[in-house]
Structure 1
């Protein structure tokens, strides 16, 4: 066992740890961006759905993506992964498995952003099983597992399409079928601003995600041999910073105030957009990609809100629209020296060939992820007597209605004694809900 094998394995394991730690960032981001009566539910469902994704990836997901004897659609071996090595790889097979598992978990968490504050707990459980076996692995195989898009040279270094767009399309399907939250829209169609309860939590979540993204992107080099991971990390940071700045400026110009949620969405949009191209573009292009993503996410949020798509965590805009743009960006900015996959972009003499491949990949993957997620959720809606909690339970908050306890016990006042967990609790005038 040589030294490079050990160093690469340690690097990949560190990347896996950073990406798994991003789940903590998503907990704070989603909890802070929603109302406090649902905060404990959000934390709990994120933890248990990541657990489901982990088991499903071990059982079937890894084999469907990277299994031997693959075809254009799916791989078919290595189910119930037992730690075997990868032929020709200069790193541990087990660390690579864990790294890829972390990505699958992130895509699922993104998907559930569109379900926030109104989906049944059982829906999270069942859809986690289905998404982790029938949606994410298929798209991942097409691009990363030797599938048909890989054969066409589609560029997606760390997952703007595979992870982010796939998750966003599932979130889109969920948002449509679940319909808007109570109180989101007035009778005339005008949207109410259901602000999250803690911007500090949201900002801390963004910083944790930003930190974890170095594992996401730089870790995807899978090697420390030539130090290229440092260049990838640099591009990642530049795009995130540019996205935050452009989002601040556009909100300041358009709204007259520098909107804090928009700033945070801009940073995340920059991170999502650079994820596909971080290894294929120069540093100046990373800044441009981040700047454009920050502007796009601002207008995207406004657009979907007017379309009455209630997306509480802005998954469709941050991960969907920015994921599309980031994937297409390599078709413009990929350089001949860095384009180790596919061809150079339009601005470097490559013509429209790579841009066409990128666009084809975006369209097909988005349609697949959305349509399959929609069909699965529609079937679940029929079988499970609906996807959504009752109106009373939604008003009460999912902390209490789904789990029997408050995420913030001291934030609710009552003259009645605390009820045992499991006993029916109905909202009354003696309960004061802080939203």
Structure 2
């Protein structure tokens, strides 16, 4: 009787357990399916964001072309094409490994060249992550293009573009972001906050641009004999404005894409990015309006970019109010920094003010307005990162520009500068039907240009 009772009890228990067992397998299957969907979404979002960042190259090309003269448009386009094209190859060969390879004491990657020897990540994710980071590297390089526009030889610029993509940018990137993929950098270990690259990308590009502008000297006619800066208007503000709108669009990939994951986090990042850019434009416009009596279009456009650069470091952690404050302050900084820098360098597009100075501000703001509240220690780490970026990028870039100038000569001479780099460097005009005031010789200042250069107008 007892055995029959036990047998009946066991059978009853099994019958009760069967639905649970049956339900477990579909639940496990559903969990695996959800994980696979999320993984695929991460890939799709990262590639889409990288494509948006790549499209920013078109924005930079239009912005720089519009802010400079028609006779140099082809040269600007060629530099931007090479920043992306040669940059992609150099970053594949060496830059990615320097930035994300196994770290040597937190200072530089030692493997991962040609994307080989990386065992910690799936091969397909290495490809996706490389694409995303390569377009960031191209962005850092092309910041320099605008600051040295209209007077640098194409071959010398190409050498520098390769150097910043393959070494200068990746080295600092390894300090701040190495742990995103493999290893870890010394700045990262301190808790440095730079989510999408206010300093890693933009200040690095800005400080390299400062070095280039100093070595190159100003364009002929930029300064009066007493040193007063003269305006040299660009040939198409509509082109520049279109470039800014393209950059604004691409920045959503730049910032929100830095999650490298299709998650709800991108909502706050996208909103902060949008708000900061708007605040930068409004405050830059208002500042010029108060100072000169008219709202300046060029400064307003650069105010958009200043706001975008400023929010890039803290876009993932700031509240919307602090994002607006960060972008608005960046917009004002653009105006005052551009005026101050114009006294010592000729920067046709304001690259140093927008990317270098606003990048430093944005990185500092990420610490001051951190989500966890104000911390002196965190602000100190941010200052260390800002200083480290300058201490590495500026002297190395200056030394390279200076060496190139001495070895191959970077500067176009006065008469050729007047004719334009399109004819001299590429034997073509961007606008074939365009006839300059003095015919095919340039924009009407050849004799004055040559005389000025002989007189030492190189500052």
Aligned to 2:369: 333
Q: Does the aligned pair in 1 maintain the 2:275–2:323 contact within 8 Å?
A: yes
**Structure 1 partner of 2:266:** 229
Residues 108 and 184 (structure 1), Cα distance of their counterparts in 2 relative to 1, 3 Å cut? same
How many aligned positions are there?
A: 406
Q: 3-state DSSP class of the match of 2:107?
A: coil
Which of 355, 361, 372 is the matching residue for 2:379? 355
Q: Structure 1 length as normaliser, TM-score?
A: 0.90
State the shift of 1:70 in Å.
3.9
Q: Rg larger in 1 or in 2?
A: 2
Unaligned runs of 5+ in 1: 337-347, 415-427
Correspondence 1:67 to 2:101: yes
Q: 1:409 aligns with which of 412, 427, 432?
A: 432
1:250 equivalenced with 2:273 (yes/no): no
| Partner residue, 2:86 | 52
Deviation at residue 391 of structure 1 after TM alignment: 1.3
> 1:142 & 1:84 partners in 2: Cα distance?
19
Say which structure is richer in helix. 2
Q: Report the equivalent of 2:454.
A: none
Hey, what does 2:165 align to over in structure 1?
132
Which of 370, 391, 399 is matched with 2:422 structurally?
399
Q: Are 2:210 and 1:172 equivalent residues in the alignment?
A: yes
Contact 1:84–1:94 (CA under 8 A) maintained in structure 2 = no
TM-score for both structures, normalised by structure 2: 0.86
Alpha-carbon distance in 1 for matches of 2:108, 2:117: 21
Q: Counterpart of 1:367?
A: 391
Q: Which residue number corresponds to residue 188 of structure 1?
A: 226
Q: Residues 314 and 363 of structure 2 are in contact (CA less than 8 Å); yes or no, is this contact kept in structure 1?
A: yes
In 1, the alpha carbon distance for the partners of 2:430 and 2:223 equals 26
- 1:32 is aligned to 2:56: no
| 1:71-115 deviation per Cα after TM superposition (whole angstroms, max 9, x unaligned) | 3210111101159675389x8221111000000000000022221
Task: Specify the alignment match of 1:279 in structure 2.
Answer: 316
Give 1:368 deviation, angstroms: 0.7
Alignment partners' CA distance in 2, 1:291 and 1:390: 40
Return the alpha-carbon distance in structure 1 between the equivalents of residues 436 and 199 of structure 2.
46
Q: Equivalents in 2 of 1:257, 1:367: separation in Å?
A: 38
Say what the alpha-carbon RMSD is for the aligned residues.
1.8
Per the alignment, in what secondary structure is the counterpart of residue 114 of structure 2?
Answer: coil
Listed one character per residue, the Cα deviations across residues 405-433 of structure 1 (whole Å, up to 9, x for unaligned) are 1011111269xxxxxxxxxxxxx656563
- Name the SS of the counterpart of 2:284 in structure 1: helix
SS in 2 for 1:276: coil
Q: Which runs of 5+ in 2 are unaligned?
A: 1-34, 179-183, 446-459
1:418: which partner in 2?
none
| Contact 1:62–1:137 (CA under 8 A) maintained in structure 2 | yes
Q: Counterpart in 2 of 1:305?
A: 342
SS in 1 for 2:295: coil
Report the counterpart of residue 443 of structure 2 in structure 1: 433
Residues 9 and 430 (structure 1), Cα distance of their counterparts in 2 relative to 1, 3 Å cut: closer
Give the whole-Å Cα distance in 1 for the aligned partners of 2:262 and 2:117. Answer: 22
1:18 counterpart residue number: 52
Matched, 1:158 2:196: yes
Sort the Cα spacing of 1:429 and 1:241 in 2 relative to 1 into closer, same or farther, 3 A: closer
The answer to whether residue 250 in structure 2 is matched with residue 212 in structure 1 is: yes
